Chains A and B, each alone.
Chain A
């Protein structure tokens, strides 16, 4: 049977992407899944098949607390990111009329991302510390006598740094969604006497929802896997699943780390599927 080159073309076109995913994503994840069933004898990993690593995760109040802590931060960071990004995106998309200025302002939003994320994180420390700028200013203004300690090495500083790191991942998709909204819809609503609150509620918000959904996927997946920000900004006083995994890897406990990675991946994928069921993001891609 003769196969024409035309029949092969689609397969050739998808081949690079498929191979990349196979070798860079599917195979490593399969390796992690397999190792998560291995045994650990206290010194090294031993091939085997045991559910103990998973039982350990689900039966321990310590791990449960670590997972809850991770969800807490994912939720807080997500919430603050939405609250900040929506107005910013709205302003960019609707209040700035010239597309040249839209581009310029959007680029300005990305400026913090031109530096390394570690540097951005560390730069908060001299700002928030006991001897930091904010405390110096508060004491100088006689608003407080004692330096406020909760600015740094607290939940507050973790959320602050993560929002700083990830807000752009929310701004960009919301802005993108809003730019696709047909301006005639808004003019029509205005002509029919809709209040700006109603326009916001009944036109812009529903149409921008897919952007929020995409942003949510980005922010939630990023925060769920966080460990560096969590460690640095909480001063090691709070933990996330990512940090737990890192500690286990550092102690060579690969099977436990792999089991945690699988559970974390499953939970994150569930969240992503949940979001995709609620909002149809097809239009945006």
Chain B
């Protein structure tokens, strides 16, 4: 009775198996996206001379993997595009471990120190891109204007990982070359968002997130590598610490930041932490949280619900992020030609206009401008008062005529990026310390 015999062992195994199966089934799995083993993509088995038979598969985060973009691109280019929208972490994982699952990798710059050494991306010949010169210098030289804060920004700045030494190298070049890692198309300057109606005054410093006035009504981003940078911005703004490089902290710095974070958590400063875009929108629109670190389109989404929300211009500057498209090493022949055509289309301006209307910036503002109304351009890029109602790409009015974009014009906003989303050398220790913070 007390011994575990074979029969009982099998039974226990079955019960565990059933339980595991139940857990797996109850996991929040949406329908398998196309291109996965459960829903295989129609791989281009037969390569013909006709580009219309080509299918280009992209893998990327939610923002740019939208149906409207796919339909427009297919219409303009004449071949098929399959998009897979995943979380930032999943995109990096697939980028590194499943190179056969994508033709185009739509990832963030900070993932490149991980993805490039895997050798899964091929160098992009920038001379094949007609609009390459229209790309803003933030990505190429890193200099926007003389003396701008962004020129010396910390973290994995795009300029540090944008180019390879030569076609077959996996080493980053310090200066622009003919061989790019990824072609940027979208980026932004992240900051704190707040509800002016519930806060009752202006928020002008990162330090406000730890202000006892907002106890129990603040939130921070629960993605360790980004959350820790926001925390560093706050702590630096409070004057408690200074950092050599917020994008690559030392163990001592991580210890100290975590200690401060835990103190704040135990004092009840945070209402909750958010991990996904829609969580941050829900926190803000339900009033559970009145000031939090936020992404630009999330502010737009709160506004689209008719609630006031400000994307605060902060005196310490912003945390920047940027994403772009890389080519799989498996591409060749007509497939590769099609992929280059897609890159050219991305830089051509339609996509830039589409993303600009959601609050992102286009990597090629001059081409995006051609696809925007002059009033829209003035509002989104020039920081001028909206002359017409501002409508997002899905037809929702997000700002009435007379509104002004938070943070001023493009140059003002982008030149105040002081650090970029990063991959730290102490990443393992960072995740460990973040866990300590979460369980504290």
- Chain A interface (Cβ < 8 Å from any Cβ of B): 21, 25, 40, 42-44, 60, 62-63, 65-66, 69, 116-118, 125-126, 129-131, 149, 152-153, 165, 169, 214, 217-218, 221-222, 225, 228, 231-232, 234-239, 243-244, 247-253, 256, 268-269, 272-273, 276-277, 280-282, 285
Decide: A214 and B15 in contact? CB cutoff 8 A. Answer: yes
Decide: A117 and B435 in contact? CB cutoff 8 A. Answer: no
Please tell me which one of the listed residues B1, B15, B28 contacts residue A272 in the complex, with CB atoms under 8 A apart: B15
Q: How far is the CA of A260 from the CA of B140 in the complex (A)?
A: 42
Q: How far is the CA of A214 from the CA of B427 in the complex (A)?
A: 41
Decide: B27 and A149 in contact? CB cutoff 8 A. Answer: no
In the assembled complex, the CB of A59 is this many whole angstroms from the nearest CB of chain B, namely 12
Decide: A149 and B28 in contact? CB cutoff 8 A. Answer: no
Decide: A130 and B435 in contact? CB cutoff 8 A. Answer: no
Decide: B275 and A236 in contact? CB cutoff 8 A. Answer: yes
* Residues of chain A lying within 8 A (CB to CB) of residue B92: 252
Answer whether residue B272 sits at the interface, using C-beta atoms and an 8 A cutoff: yes
The 22 sampled A-B contact pairs (Cβ below 8 Å) are A25-B20, A42-B427, A43-B427, A60-B432, A62-B435, A66-B439, A125-B282, A165-B26, A218-B22, A222-B19, A222-B22, A225-B20, A234-B272, A235-B274, A236-B273, A237-B270, A237-B273, A247-B431, A251-B427, A272-B15, A280-B1, A285-B11
Answer whether residue B17 sits at the interface, using C-beta atoms and an 8 A cutoff: yes
Q: How far is the CA of A25 from the CA of B10 in the complex (A)?
A: 13
Q: How far is the CA of A214 from the CA of B23 in the complex (A)?
A: 15
* Residues of chain B lying within 8 A (CB to CB) of residue A276: 4, 8, 11-12
* Residues of chain B lying within 8 A (CB to CB) of residue A250: 87, 89, 223
Q: How far is the CA of A153 from the CA of B271 in the complex (A)?
A: 7
Q: Which residue of B lies closest to A251 (CB)?
A: B431
* Supplied contacts A236-B438, A277-B4, 12 more A-B pairs, CB within 8 Å: A40-B428, A116-B28, A126-B286, A129-B286, A217-B19, A231-B275, A234-B272, A235-B274, A252-B92, A256-B428, A272-B12, A272-B16
8 A-B pairs with least C-beta separation: A235-B272, A236-B273, A250-B89, A221-B19, A236-B222, A118-B28, A62-B436, A153-B272
Q: How far is the CA of A125 from the CA of B283 in the complex (A)?
A: 10
Q: How far is the CA of A69 from the CA of B96 in the complex (A)?
A: 33
* Residues of chain B lying within 8 A (CB to CB) of residue A62: 432, 435-436, 439
- Chain B interface (Cβ < 8 Å from any Cβ of A): 1-2, 4, 8, 11-13, 15-20, 22-23, 26-28, 87, 89, 92-93, 96, 113-114, 117-118, 216, 219, 222-225, 265, 270-275, 279, 282, 286-288, 425-428, 431-432, 434-436, 438-439
Q: How far is the CA of A73 from the CA of B265 in the complex (A)?
A: 20
* Residues of chain A lying within 8 A (CB to CB) of residue B27: 228
In the assembled complex, the CB of A26 is this many whole angstroms from the nearest CB of chain B, namely 10
Decide: A247 and B26 in contact? CB cutoff 8 A. Answer: no
Q: How far is the CA of A126 from the CA of B288 in the complex (A)?
A: 10
Decide: B286 and A131 in contact? CB cutoff 8 A. Answer: yes
Instruction: Give the residue among A125, A214, A237, A243 with the most B Cβ atoms within 10 A.
Output: A237
Q: A42-B427, A126-B286, A218-B19 are in contact. Are A277 and B2 (CB under 8 A)?
A: yes
Decide: A247 and B435 in contact? CB cutoff 8 A. Answer: yes
Decide: B431 and A248 in contact? CB cutoff 8 A. Answer: yes
In the assembled complex, the CB of A139 is this many whole angstroms from the nearest CB of chain B, namely 14
Q: A69-B439, A131-B287, A269-B16 are in contact. Are A236 and B274 (CB under 8 A)?
A: yes
In the assembled complex, the CB of B69 is this many whole angstroms from the nearest CB of chain A, namely 26
Decide: A42 and B428 in contact? CB cutoff 8 A. Answer: yes
* Residues of chain A lying within 8 A (CB to CB) of residue B93: 249, 252
* Residues of chain B lying within 8 A (CB to CB) of residue A152: 288
Please tell me which one of the listed residues A218, A237, A273 contacts residue B4 in the complex, with CB atoms under 8 A apart: A273
In the assembled complex, the CB of B59 is this many whole angstroms from the nearest CB of chain A, namely 16
Decide: B12 and A253 in contact? CB cutoff 8 A. Answer: no
Decide: B286 and A225 in contact? CB cutoff 8 A. Answer: no
Q: How far is the CA of A214 from the CA of B428 in the complex (A)?
A: 39
Q: How far is the CA of A273 from the CA of B5 in the complex (A)?
A: 11
* Residues of chain B lying within 8 A (CB to CB) of residue A69: 439
Decide: A237 and B265 in contact? CB cutoff 8 A. Answer: yes
Q: How far is the CA of A65 from the CA of B425 in the complex (A)?
A: 26
Q: Which residue of B lies closest to A131 (CB)?
A: B287
Q: Which residue of B lies closest to A165 (CB)?
A: B26
Instruction: Give the residue among B114, B222, B431, B439 with the most A Cβ atoms within 10 A.
Output: B439
Decide: A149 and B216 in contact? CB cutoff 8 A. Answer: yes
Decide: B28 and A228 in contact? CB cutoff 8 A. Answer: yes
Q: How far is the CA of A171 from the CA of B87 in the complex (A)?
A: 36
* Residues of chain B lying within 8 A (CB to CB) of residue A43: 113-114, 117, 427
* Residues of chain B lying within 8 A (CB to CB) of residue A125: 282, 286
Q: How far is the CA of A84 from the CA of B89 in the complex (A)?
A: 39
Q: Which residue of A lies closest to B227 (CB)?
A: A236
